[in-house]
A and B are shown apart, each in its own frame.
Chain A
């Protein structure tokens, strides 16, 4: 699946860190002006998924959960 919007490569580098980092992530991921209506995320170069920009992308696990859900839905169709 391709998108005219942003393509973001999700790396496996997310890890637990201190609270200030989490707060920074909370701000930049969940808040701020939204330009485009959606973005596309590529998880480990395997697939692409669309996310509304109001969706919180808190970790690679979140993205992978969404990817798994999407794959399940695709299979079900």
Chain B
């Protein structure tokens, strides 16, 4: 018997409404210590990797998202009950810390396209380039690229914090730069009660900065703020 795990929840003793998960399987609440885990049972390890399955995963997570604090598992988390219990026992302090971090919060996503106003650093002038020059030029490009990315991230963060700063509990920014623009994926953790204000403030940014193309989505379960494995590794030096 295998379990498909959807999310770990606190303060939930029963599921009020029947929920269907991947492949239409009934979802049940498995209690492990003080946590609840939403799972569905399967006879084998296999399940269809389809968009319907992915949406079903998100639907199950959302079925308790508006009432409870939860940590979503990544899609495809099929385990035995023993593995799941071992996982919860091993990571219990980190799970509790993560739950405390996201309690009462939702995730809001911004996708921002930002056109460059300054051209990217070009190559050194064509001269007699030996292997040393080529190597140094490559290093220079890497360093300039890194510096530029740090500068862009800082500038974007400052801009967002000016309008949204008092609403943010946590923030992650991922940049995908190109020669002409930056595509930024920004994930914000905010208190659920501040969702409407957050939307209004994002509209303010749009009004002030029409050069930025901003797409807002949410509220999402806190998918981007539950990476406890990294915290565990950094805390205990496990790699």
Contacts and interface: CB of A to CB of B under 8 A. Distances in A.
Interface residues of A, number: 36
Contacts of B75: 28-29, 32
Contacts of B44: 7
A39 B76 contact: yes
A9 B72 contact: no
Contact of B73 (A10, A14, A25, A33): A33
Interface in A8-43: 8-11, 13-15, 17, 19-21, 23-25, 27-36, 39-42
A35 B83 contact: yes
A6 B78 contact: yes
Interface stretch (B134-142, B147-155, B161-169, B217-225): B217-225
Interface residues of B, number: 39
A30 B79 CA distance: 18
Interface in B211-231: 215, 217, 220-221, 223-224, 226-229
Given A31-B226, A36-B79, A8 B51 contact: no
A5 B45 contact: yes
B223 A8 contact: no
Nearest to A39: B76
B49 interface: yes
Prevailing SS type, chain A contact patch: mixed
A41 B46 CA distance: 9
B71 A33 contact: yes
Given A24-B55, A24-B58, A57-B49, A31 B217 contact: no
Nearest to A29: B75
A3 B57 CA distance: 23
Contact of A27 (B45, B51, B71, B220): B220
B239 interface: no
Contacts of A20: 217
Interface of A: 3, 5-11, 13-15, 17, 19-21, 23-25, 27-36, 39-42, 53, 57, 60, 63
18 contacts: A7-B44, A8-B78, A9-B47, A11-B50, A13-B50, A20-B217, A21-B51, A21-B55, A25-B54, A27-B72, A28-B54, A28-B57, A31-B72, A32-B73, A33-B72, A34-B77, A39-B76, A63-B49
Given A7-B44, A13-B48, A28-B75, 8 more contacts: A8-B47, A9-B47, A23-B109, A28-B223, A32-B77, A33-B229, A34-B74, A35-B73
